[in-house]
Structure 1
């Protein structure tokens, strides 16, 4: 019998930080767990990323109420993954925004993703019984749109495929701060199981071109100052490239998924084994890298059953 996923035994509560990264802009972080962001406008508040359940979302709301009593009117979801979106009902936001591509993925694979992630990472679904169902946006866009919170402009943009095909970033021009979702991580492994390795570097270049002063990444601590921002972008680039290249070499010679796993571990363990959720992500990252290298452009849908079958194959 195969051993359990690393994430299934990750049961320790993480320490929450709530960091101001610009005037009225905050990063909610928790030691490698999914981050959220907060944008305080003139009259209202925008939340970036909902968390996995309404109970976990309440932890974000509690932090918001430490700094403002303005109503939460907008919720922006950078992509479709269950751990990012299923807590949406807690905020009572009138507007829920996603990219067109992300909404299409909710329709195509949202339930399967929920079932899969719930099995993989039970701690992140604390209070799962309060989830009312899949989260659907009220508004979507293809490439870019702007939202005004009073005089504060917030730009939502799809810069390219990376962590998923529908990723967006959120830029606040008046403070030159960006919320990147899982396109950028900091001392945390990238989850690449639904990713696009060949595109990810170009999307990072597009983020880097903004020369922002701070980033709230998808996981890991807030990034303050250009030097820290650039370092996180480049370490993310290195992680993605170091995962894909060994798997692609194995696929090119007709090798097996297990051989790709061994090759990626040899390349990545020395550099990234101390990153948060590294062991959690690795099997899914290798499986997707192997698929992409064999010409599968659209990531195959993860299901609870497919997770188990893949993991058993990697155990030999």
Structure 2
């Protein structure tokens, strides 16, 4: 019996946790659904990743208003995926900030990604009709690194390397050693790697570890509130990426096709990672991208709703 396409059968809402990491940093998490980070400065608030629609953003804003009445001036996009960016208008920010690489990806594939993601995971796009027409466009971009000052509080926005996408951005509070990683790091949640760079991702995780965060807000999963928890999150993400990369490369080296490589990789990873959130959702996309990278496509191909369906039917029946 074939599996329901992507996560269309996932209809159960997840309870939200709003975790205080410091007087300035908070994590909005929901048991493996996409996380949002909040930084409260002296004179303004910054939101990292927006939720998927303006209606869903309202619950984040409600939590923010429980701790501060300062204006939400900045929204930071850790990367371009629709589930992270389409809620931006709900905050009415002065600026939406992203890396130049993320901007370029929005230009190249934003429309296709939007349609693809809404089709894969409808529960995460509650009240999708509230999303304004068109795409979410950054009003500020940077290359490599920039600082935003919220009064006397410095927030560094840094590209530490490619991993989840080529445009990944982390938000870093250097004085407090708190990091918001986006989907470069997950915790007890399966990394989505359909647009990833498997060969680069482990080094990028090393670059995160080199900052020595004492707390970290991952893209999915609970906030990591101690250095030991941070180490576990980094190690788990690294393990998944390297295990998948090794399994797929072995299948490619043996001359096997995508379908055979998928079945073998799924069987190899299921015992160790099958209990992680969205494992069955991610594996077809992840293996397909890893197979591409290991064969003909150094850069990720554009996912469309049609390509999603064709891939799913080929691998899952």
- Number of the residue aligned with 2:199: 198
Spell out structure 1 runs of 4+ moving beyond 3 A: none
Partner SS for 1:197 = coil
Answer yes or no: is the 8 Å Cα contact 1:157–1:169 preserved in 2.
Answer: yes
Structure 1 position 47, deviation (Å) = 0.3
Q: Deviations over 1:15-37 (max 9, x none)?
A: 00000112220000001000000
8 Å CA contact 2:5, 2:309 repeated in 1: no
Moved more, 241-250 or 158-167: 241-250
Structure-to-structure mapping, 1:236-315, within 5 angstroms: 236-315=237-316
Question: Does the C-alpha gap of structure 1 residues 265 and 302 become closer, same or farther in structure 2, counting only changes over 3 Å?
Answer: same
Counterpart check, 1:62 vs 2:56: no
Normalising by structure 2, we get a TM-score of 0.98
User: Counterpart in 1 of 2:184?
Assistant: 183
**Residue 147 of structure 2 aligns with which residue?**
146
Deviations 1:137-167 (A, max 9, x none): 0000110000000000000000100000000
Alignment match, 1:18:
18
Give the superposition deviation at 1:223: 0.2
Question: How many equivalent pairs are there?
Answer: 316
SS of the residue aligned with 1:134? coil
**1:7 equivalent in structure 2:** 7
SS at 1:276 equivalent: coil
Helix, strand or coil for the counterpart of 1:183? Answer: strand
Q: CA deviation at 1:4?
A: 2.1
1:14 and 1:33 in contact (8 A); partners too: yes
SS of 1:22's equivalent? coil
Residue 232 of structure 1: aligned partner:
233
Match of 1:27 in 2: 27
Checking the alignment, whether the CA contact within 8 Å between 2:154 and 2:174 is kept in structure 1 is yes
Higher mean Cα deviation, 299-308 or 250-259? 250-259
Structure 1: state its 5+ residue gaps: none
Question: When the two structures are superposed, what TM-score results if normalisation uses the length of structure 1?
Answer: 0.98
**Corresponding residue for residue 219 of structure 2:** 218
Tell me what 1:44 maps to.
44
> CA separation in 2, counterparts of 1:84 and 1:183?
13
Conserved 8 A contact 2:83-2:124: yes
Contact 1:252 1:293 in 2 (8 A): no
Deviation at residue 242 of structure 1 after TM alignment: 1.2
Give SS of 2:233's match: helix
- Cα root mean square deviation, aligned: 1.0
In the alignment, the residues of structure 1 paired with residue 52 and residue 255 of structure 2 have an alpha-carbon distance, to the nearest angstrom, of: 38
Whether the aligned pair in 2 keeps the contact of 1:204 and 1:237 (CA below 8 Å) is yes
**SS of structure 2 residue aligned to 1:163:** coil
Q: CA deviation at 1:2?
A: 5.1
